[in-house]
């Protein structure tokens, strides 16, 4: 779906306007509007599932940031890796050791199924 006009194609098939947005951004706005963060100036929302990410809402509106990725922490490096764990698992984006490869459910399965490291 990356680089494809999914919203336009779906809208054409349904004969109505369709808008697509990042799930974490939608969660942040939803919580800021009528959820746990209602009435708060800034809301940071985290999504953990098959991937991980975050969204930021300021005064109930998405904060996209200069590059459209404000709140997204899923591509930051995991800080606790041992030298023998590098380069780490590759993310679909090509980045290695991204937190989105360690925090979500598939990453926990990989981490917890590995034999423990000696201390």
pLDDT tens readout for residues 3-38: 788 999 999 999 999 998 889 999 999 999 999 999
pLDDT given for residue 74 in this prediction: 73
- Taking the CA atoms of 18, 19, 22 and 27 in sequence, report the sign of the dihedral they define: negative
Nearest to 72 by CA among 42, 94, 51: 51
Please classify residue 43 by burial: count the beta carbons closer than 10 Å to its beta carbon, then call 0-12 exposed, 13-18 middle and 19+ buried: buried
What is the mean pLDDT of the segment spanning 43-60? 88
pTM of the model: 0.68
pLDDT-derived band of residue 49, with 50, 70 and 90 as boundaries?
A: confident
Best CA proximity match to 53, nearest among 12, 14, 99, 85: 99
Q: What does the pLDDT read at residue 61?
A: 96
The string of pLDDT tens digits covering residues 80-115 is: 666 666 656 666 666 666 665 556 556 556 655 655
> CA-to-CA distance for 93 and 72, rounded, in angstroms?
14
Counting Cα atoms < 13 Å in the Cβ hemisphere of 2 gives 2
Q: How confident is the model at residue 39 (pLDDT cuts 50, 70, 90)?
A: very high
């Amino acid at each position: 779906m990356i680089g494809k006009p999914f919203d336009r194609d779906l809208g054409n098939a349904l004969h109505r306007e369709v808008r697509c947005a990042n799930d974490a951004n939608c969660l942040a706005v939803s919580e800021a509007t009528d959820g746990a963060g209602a009435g708060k100036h800034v809301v940071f929302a985290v999504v953990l599932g098959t991937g991980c990410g975050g969204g930021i809402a300021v005064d109930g509106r998405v904060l996209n940031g200069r590059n459209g990725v404000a709140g997204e922490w899923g591509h930051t490096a995991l800080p606790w890796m041992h030298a023998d764990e590098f380069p780490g698992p590759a993310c679909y984006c090509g980045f290695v050791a991204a937190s989105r490869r360690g925090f979500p459910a598939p990453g926990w399965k990989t981490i917890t199924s590995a034999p423990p490291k000696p201390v």
